[in-house]
Structure 1
Amino acid sequence: MILTIGVLYLLVILVIGLFSMKHQKDMDTFYTGGRRFGPWLVALAISSTTMSGYGFIGLTGLVYQHGYAIFMIGIFATAGIFVSFLILAKPMRRITQKFGALTIPDLLELRYNSKAVRAITALAILGGAIGYQMAQYKALGNMLQTVLGVDYKLALFIGVAILTVYVVGGGMISAVWTDFIQMIVMVFGSLIVFIGGMKMVGGMSQLNSEIANINPDMVQAFHTTGPIGIFAFISYFFIYVIGHQGQPHVVSKFYMIRKISMLKWACIIAASTYALTALLWFVGLYTRVMVERGEMTAPATPDLVAPLFIESFFHPAIAGLIFAAVMAAIMSTSEAFLLVASSSIVRDVYQQIIKKGEKLPEKKELALSRWITLAVIALTFLLSLNPPDLVGWLGNASWGIFVASLVPVLSIGILWKRATRVAAIWSSALGFIFSIGLYILKVKELYVPDLDTGAIALIISTVSFVGISLFTKSESNVIFENGLETKGGKKRGSTVINI
């Protein structure tokens, strides 16, 4: 029954992708869906993409290992959704409407009048997207491995094959509609699993008592020893509250809403639905208790905690729906990242830098985007056959790359008229280099800092951005000079930001 429901659900996803292909007439519809979506569609796309396979599979596994401390990621990410809407949503939507920006590097070149800023941020987005995509693929492989009962590599191949048709055909339209459907299923599924699992373990008090007996640190917001201490707590604040603004697969969805007035409702819906799906992480605690009681075999790897628990203790119909929704979440998030990665190569590097802004025929540009998307799928598939880390840590590292490379130049730059081109170049370059370099050193155990590597890289990029801006000459900019139209149709001051 689980397999049947999963297959039927995936067929629905494929139909959505093939149907959406008919509406892919140009790059605007491929990357932004034509800016025609309402608050519910945009909100559920944002919450779904924020959760993704990294959240459901990876963070559930980390909760199994470390307890409640990992829930701070969910609390901070929920706050981060509000912060992103508050700072970026209106100005990004206005800029795309006035200047036609389709990608984050589009906006940043416009803000700093610099091809170098476009190139560096495009490469940073590509690098982070490949890392995050590896986390999605590993989550997809682990899920199908459990459902199909096959080897991880075969499960990964099957999942990626379906994903390829879905992504290359549908573009952003299929991603948004899939997010909408699967997020509704995941919200109800998370509530069912949370309530059902709580009854199995005997209630919250009994759960906390048994978890505390295993390790008292597991019921704390941060641990007294080990890798999830106070510095990890501080790092999560930097990466998930402040850093949510630097996630291109999330904030690029601000481009897609039909009316700016709808953003306030989208914000509330996105944060609420994300918080509800985070209840799924209790599966990590339930599994730990069941394993200690001897009622469940310990999973071979933390990445298998969620699928094994749901398969073992829930009715096949419920398990099948939850598995299907999670697979859809993984696929829609994968699509968002693949579109972000392909746009970085096609639009931001090839067309705007190599071709020096030469306008390509729409059909040629759309075809090239699809071929590049195929190439990125193939590359990330090969890398995911033997990934270097657990899903949770891979996703966390990729968030760190985006945070350090994009947050200062995007969030501060869009608010602060004094920010300069030179500062943007150095900030994004240093953020990209340090986030990747420090993570590699950490994985190789050559240098394991107390703070998360992404948080350290963010501090370096922010300090360099502000410091260099103050010591370099201020420059005029088309965004701040022209201003943007307000709701009443009048320009308001000399800045673009009217939050």
Structure 2
Amino acid sequence: MILAIGIIYLLVILVIGLLSMRHQKDMDTFYTGGRRFGPWLVALAVSSTTMSGYGFIGLTGLVYEHGYAIFMIGIFATAGIFVSFLVLAKPMRRITQKFGALTIPDLLEVRYNSKAIRAITALAILGGAIGYQMAQYKALGNMLQTVLGVDYKLALFIGVAILTVYVVGGGMISAVWTDFIQMIVMVAGALIVFIGGMRMVGGMSQLNSELAGMNPDLVQAFHTTGPIGIFAFISYFFIYVIGHQGQPHVVSKFYMIKKLSMLKWACIIAAGTYGLTALLWFVGLYTKVMVNRGEMVAPASPDMVAPMFIENFFPPVIAGLIFAAVMAAIMSTSEAFLLVASSSIVRDIYQQIIKKGEKLPEKKELALSRWFTLAIIVLTFLLSLNPPDLVGWLGNASWGIFAASLVPVLSIGILWKRATRVAAIWSSALGFIFSIGLYILKVKGVYVPALDTGAIAMIISTVSLVGISLVTKHEASPIFEKTSKDKTAGEDPAAANFS
């Protein structure tokens, strides 16, 4: 029964991908869906890609290890959705419509009049996307390994094969529609698991009592010792509240909404549905209690917590639906990352830098986008056969890379006229270098800082942007210039200028 429901779910998203191929006519529809989606579609796309397999599988495993402290990531990420909508949604939608931008590096080149900033941010997006995609693939392999009862590598291959068809074929149209369906499944699955698991452990008071008996730190917002202390708490604020604005798979969804007036509803829907799906993380706490009671065998890896708990304690039909929800989280973010990664190569590096902005035939652009998407799928699949870290830590590191490389130059840059081209280049480059370099040193055990490596890199990047801007010459940017067309903003909100 579990297998049947899983297969039906995978076939449904496969069909959506195949049907969406008919609507892919150019780069705009492939990467932005033609900017024609309403608030529910955009909102659920934002919340589903924010959650991801990193959230459902990785963070559930980290909750199992560290307790309630990991929930701060969910609280901060929910706040981050509000902050991203408040700071970026309207300006990004207006600027990209006015200048025809399809990607974040597109927008940043217009803002700073710099091919260099386009190249750096495109490389940062590509690097972070590969790391995050490895987290998704590892989560996908772990989930299908349990559902199908096959070897991890075979399970990973099956999942990636299905993902390939509907992402390469359908582009952003299939991505947004599958996000919509998948988020509904995710919310339902999270509520079922939360309620069912809470009954199994005897309610919230009993759960907390048993957790505190094992280790008082498990019921604290941050620990007195270990890696989840006060500095981790501070780091999560930087990475998930402020850093949410730099997540390209999420904020690129702002390009797609049909009308600016719809954004306020999309914000509320996105934050609310994300908060509901985070209830699945209680599985980590339930598993801790069940293992301690002797009612469940301890998982071999924290990444197997969610699959094992669901398989052990839920009827096959319910378990099948929940497994579909978890696969939904993984698939939705995988498709988003594959699209932003391929756009970084095709549009931002190949077309705009190598070809110097030369206009390519639309069919050639679309074909290149699909081929490079396929190449990234193959590369990340090979890397995911033997990933270097747990899903949770891989995802956290990638969030840090995006936050450090993109947040200052994007969020500060479109709000502060004084930010200069030289400062943006240094800021993004230093954020990218430090976020990757410090993470490698941490994994190797060479240097393990108190603050998260991504938070440190983002602080360096922000200070660089502000400091260098103040000592370099101010430069005008077209995004702050008004034109006669801007006067029509009331009639056509999509054409409004950001001021």
TM exceeding 0.5? yes
Give the length in aligned residue pairs: 495
Which residue is 1:348 aligned to?
Answer: 348
Which residue is 1:215 aligned to?
Answer: 215
Question: Residues of 2 paired with 1:185 and 1:163: CA distance?
Answer: 17
1:86 is the counterpart of 2:86: yes
* Amino acid in structure 1 at the alignment position of 2:126: L
Cα pair distance change 1:43/1:412, threshold 3 Å: same
* Amino acid in structure 2 at the alignment position of 1:157: F
Cα pair distance change 1:230/1:476, threshold 3 Å: same
* Amino acid in structure 2 at the alignment position of 1:196: G
1:3 is the counterpart of 2:3: yes
1:78 partner SS: helix
Which residue is 1:48 aligned to?
Answer: 48
Which residue is 1:488 aligned to?
Answer: 490
Deviation at 1:495, TM superposition (A): 7.9
Question: Residues of 2 paired with 1:243 and 1:90: CA distance?
Answer: 18
1:240-263 Cα deviation digits (max 9, x unpaired): 000000000000000000000000
Question: Residues of 1 paired with 2:66 and 2:487: CA distance?
Answer: 49
Question: Residues of 1 paired with 2:186 and 2:460: CA distance?
Answer: 38
Which residue is 2:237 aligned to?
Answer: 237
1:366-391 Cα deviation digits (max 9, x unpaired): 00010001110111001101101000
1:468 is the counterpart of 2:468: yes
Deviation at 1:460, TM superposition (A): 0.3
Which residue is 1:101 aligned to?
Answer: 101
Which residue is 2:432 aligned to?
Answer: 432
Determine if contact 2:245/2:403 at 8 Å carries over to the other structure: yes
Cα pair distance change 1:486/1:93, threshold 3 Å: farther
Question: Residues of 1 paired with 2:322 and 2:488: CA distance?
Answer: 43
Cα pair distance change 1:150/1:283, threshold 3 Å: same
Q: Which runs of 5+ in 2 are unaligned?
A: none
Determine if contact 1:182/1:326 at 8 Å carries over to the other structure: no
Deviation at 1:485, TM superposition (A): 5.6
1:344 partner SS: helix
* Amino acid in structure 2 at the alignment position of 1:346: V
Deviation at 1:486, TM superposition (A): 7.3
Which residue is 1:248 aligned to?
Answer: 248
Question: Residues of 1 paired with 2:243 and 2:326: CA distance?
Answer: 24
Deviation at 1:303, TM superposition (A): 0.2
1:482 partner SS: coil
2:47 partner SS: helix
1:346-401 Cα deviation digits (max 9, x unpaired): 00000000000000000000000100011101110011011010000000000000
Deviation at 1:299, TM superposition (A): 0.6
Which residue is 1:26 aligned to?
Answer: 26
Any residues of structure 2 matched to 1:446-465 within 5 Å, and which? 446-465=446-465
Deviation at 1:329, TM superposition (A): 2.2
1:43-64 Cα deviation digits (max 9, x unpaired): 0000000001000000000000
Deviation at 1:234, TM superposition (A): 0.0
Determine if contact 2:136/2:334 at 8 Å carries over to the other structure: yes
* Amino acid in structure 1 at the alignment position of 2:243: G
Which residue is 2:279 aligned to?
Answer: 279
* Amino acid in structure 1 at the alignment position of 2:137: Y
Deviation at 1:325, TM superposition (A): 2.2
Question: Residues of 2 paired with 1:124 and 1:183: CA distance?
Answer: 28
Which residue is 2:139 aligned to?
Answer: 139
* Amino acid in structure 2 at the alignment position of 1:461: S
Identity of aligned pairs, percent? 88
Question: Residues of 2 paired with 1:222 and 1:323: CA distance?
Answer: 30
Which residue is 1:168 aligned to?
Answer: 168
Determine if contact 2:94/2:497 at 8 Å carries over to the other structure: no
Deviation at 1:297, TM superposition (A): 0.4
1:360 is the counterpart of 2:360: yes
Which residue is 2:112 aligned to?
Answer: 112
Question: Residues of 1 paired with 2:19 and 2:33: CA distance?
Answer: 14
Question: Residues of 2 paired with 1:244 and 1:270: CA distance?
Answer: 13
Deviation at 1:462, TM superposition (A): 0.3
Any residues of structure 2 matched to 1:44-443 within 5 Å, and which? 44-443=44-443
Cα pair distance change 1:486/1:441, threshold 3 Å: farther
Comparing 145-154 with 237-246, greater Cα deviation is found at 145-154
2:323 partner SS: helix
Determine if contact 1:401/1:436 at 8 Å carries over to the other structure: yes
Question: Residues of 1 paired with 2:263 and 2:409: CA distance?
Answer: 23
Which residue is 1:37 aligned to?
Answer: 37
Q: TM-score, normalised by structure 1?
A: 0.98
Determine if contact 1:423/1:468 at 8 Å carries over to the other structure: yes
Question: Residues of 1 paired with 2:330 and 2:497: CA distance?
Answer: 39
Cα pair distance change 1:287/1:23, threshold 3 Å: same
Question: Residues of 1 paired with 2:276 and 2:329: CA distance?
Answer: 15
Determine if contact 2:98/2:497 at 8 Å carries over to the other structure: no
Cα pair distance change 1:261/1:383, threshold 3 Å: same
* Amino acid in structure 2 at the alignment position of 1:56: F
* Amino acid in structure 1 at the alignment position of 2:102: L
Question: Residues of 2 paired with 1:83 and 1:482: CA distance?
Answer: 26
* Amino acid in structure 1 at the alignment position of 2:33: G
* Amino acid in structure 1 at the alignment position of 2:490: G
Question: Residues of 1 paired with 2:186 and 2:347: CA distance?
Answer: 34
Deviation at 1:185, TM superposition (A): 1.4
Deviation at 1:272, TM superposition (A): 0.2
Cα pair distance change 1:495/1:365, threshold 3 Å: closer
Deviation at 1:490, TM superposition (A): 10
Deviation at 1:321, TM superposition (A): 1.1
1:433-469 Cα deviation digits (max 9, x unpaired): 0000000000000000000000000000000000000
Question: Residues of 1 paired with 2:482 and 2:43: CA distance?
Answer: 30
Deviation at 1:328, TM superposition (A): 2.3
Determine if contact 1:148/1:155 at 8 Å carries over to the other structure: yes
Question: Residues of 2 paired with 1:214 and 1:325: CA distance?
Answer: 30
Question: Residues of 1 paired with 2:482 and 2:353: CA distance?
Answer: 25
* Amino acid in structure 2 at the alignment position of 1:30: F
Question: Residues of 1 paired with 2:398 and 2:381: CA distance?
Answer: 17
Q: Which runs of 5+ in 1 are unaligned?
A: none
Question: Residues of 1 paired with 2:226 and 2:187: CA distance?
Answer: 33
Deviation at 1:96, TM superposition (A): 1.5
Q: TM-score, normalised by structure 2?
A: 0.98
Question: Residues of 1 paired with 2:482 and 2:106: CA distance?
Answer: 17
Determine if contact 2:133/2:334 at 8 Å carries over to the other structure: yes
Determine if contact 1:13/1:328 at 8 Å carries over to the other structure: no
Determine if contact 1:10/1:328 at 8 Å carries over to the other structure: no
Question: Residues of 1 paired with 2:236 and 2:450: CA distance?
Answer: 12
Alignment RMSD:
1.3
1:159-195 Cα deviation digits (max 9, x unpaired): 1111111110010111111111111111111111101
Deviation at 1:489, TM superposition (A): 5.1
Question: Residues of 2 paired with 1:133 and 1:370: CA distance?
Answer: 17
